[in-house]
Amino acid sequence: MNDVIVVASGKGGTGKSTVCVGLAVALVKQNKRVLLIDCDCGMRGLDLMLDVEQEILFDCADAVCGNCKPAEAVYRSKNLEELYLMAAPFDSDNEISPSVFKQLVDELKAHYDYVIIDSPAGIGSGFVTAAAPADRALIVTIAEPTSLRGAIKIRRKLIDLNIQNIRLVINRFERKHFEELDCYRDLDEVIDISGTQLIALIPMDFRLSSIIQNGLSGQSWCPAMNIFDCLAKRVEGYIVPLAFRG
Ligand SMILES: Nc1ncnc2c1ncn2[C@@H]1O[C@H](COP(=O)(O)OP(=O)(O)OP(=O)(O)O)[C@@H](O)[C@H]1O
Ligand SMILES: [Mg+2]
C-alpha cells in the first residue's frame, strides 16, 4: 500500500506525537511494517517515545544531506519489531526543503506499508516540509476554541498543498471538562466547525500518556490503546465503530 500520512495540528501540544506512536503501534499489531518519521526539527521526541534515543547517530537531515544512506538513518524500535524510526535533527538550524524531503520519503516508502510523519505544530515551513510527501493527513485537535481554530487553519493549508484526504482526531477528550467549557452544543458541533470528518475520539487518559512516554516498555495496556486499534482499522479503510464515544 505504501501510504504516507502526516499528523498535524495548528496548536502545539494537542497530541500529534502521541497519536503517531499509538497509530504506528496499532498498525504493527495488524501486521503492517511502519516507518515513523519525526519531522519536528529541533524538538524531536519520538526517539524517546520509542526508547532509541541512545542509538541515534543519523537523522533525516543527515539522510537528505548525504551524510549517510537513508537506510542508515532508520532505527528499529526496541519493543516492537516492524516499527522503525527516522529521527528529526536535534538542532533546529537544519531546515529541510519540502522537495528534498519528499524525494527522501518517496525513496523510503517502498519498504513500508505505512510512513507516518510527525509534524511540528503550526502552518510554518516545518509543517510544509512534513506535509510535502503525504498522501493523506490526520489533524489532531482538542475540543476547545483555540485548538479548533488551529485545526481549521491547518485544514486550509493542507488543501492548498493538494492533500484532500484529511481526517480529524479529537484528543484528550473529557466529558466533564467539555460540559464545563460550555462552548459547544455537542461534539457534532465541534466536528461541523472543523469541516473535517472524524476518524477517532481519544479520551484524556494519563495511563495512555505514560505508556507512550515510557518507550512502550513492558506489556502495559490501558483501554485508550483500543482506540488506536480502531483508528488503525479505519486508516486501513475498514468500517468499524469508534471505540469511545465520549
Ligand atoms: N489522550 C491523552 N490523554 C492524556 N495525556 C495525553 C493524551 N494525548 C497526549 N497527552 C499528553 O499531552 C502532552 C502533549 O502530547 P504530545 O507531545 O503528543 O503533543 P504534540 O502535539 O506532539 O506536541 P508538540 O506540538 O509540542 O509536538 C504529553 O504530555 C502527552 O503525554
Ligand atoms: Mg510532538
Least trusted range by pLDDT, from 2-16, 27-41, 47-61, 209-223: 209-223
- Name all domains of the chain by residue range, CATH numbers in brackets: 3-235 (3.40.50.300)
Q: What's residue 147's pLDDT?
A: 97
Closest CA to 95 of 136, 124, 58, 57: 124
**DSSP class of residue 76?**
E
Cβ of 18 closer than 6 Å to ligand 1, yes or no, is yes
User: Within 136-197, where are the H helices?
Assistant: 145-160, 175-181, 187-194
The model's pLDDT over 46-79, given as tens digits with 9 standing for 90+, comes to 999 998 999 999 999 999 999 999 999 999 998 8
Q: What's residue 223's pLDDT?
A: 78
**For residue 246, is pLDDT > 90?**
no
Q: What's residue 137's pLDDT?
A: 98
Least trusted range by pLDDT, from 25-29, 39-43, 115-119: 39-43
Q: What's residue 148's pLDDT?
A: 97
Q: Measure 42 CA to ligand 2 centroid, in angstroms.
A: 11
Q: Taking the C-alpha atoms of 230, 21, 92 and 71 in order, what is their torsion angle to the nearest 10 degrees?
A: -110
Pairing of strands 34-38, 83-86: parallel
**Confidence class for position 216, pLDDT limits 50, 70, 90:** low
The sign of the dihedral angle between the CA atoms of 194, 196, 201, 204 is negative
How far is the C-alpha of 208 from the C-alpha of 17, rounded, in Å?
A: 12
Average pLDDT for residues 143-160, to the nearest whole number?
A: 97
Q: What's residue 2's pLDDT?
A: 83
Q: Measure 131 CA to ligand 2 centroid, in angstroms.
A: 15
CA 212 to ligand 1: nearest atom: 31
**For residue 129, is pLDDT > 70?**
yes
CA 209 to ligand 1: nearest atom: 31
Closest CA to 60 of 34, 78, 81, 42: 42
Q: What's residue 219's pLDDT?
A: 55
**For residue 80, is pLDDT > 90?**
no
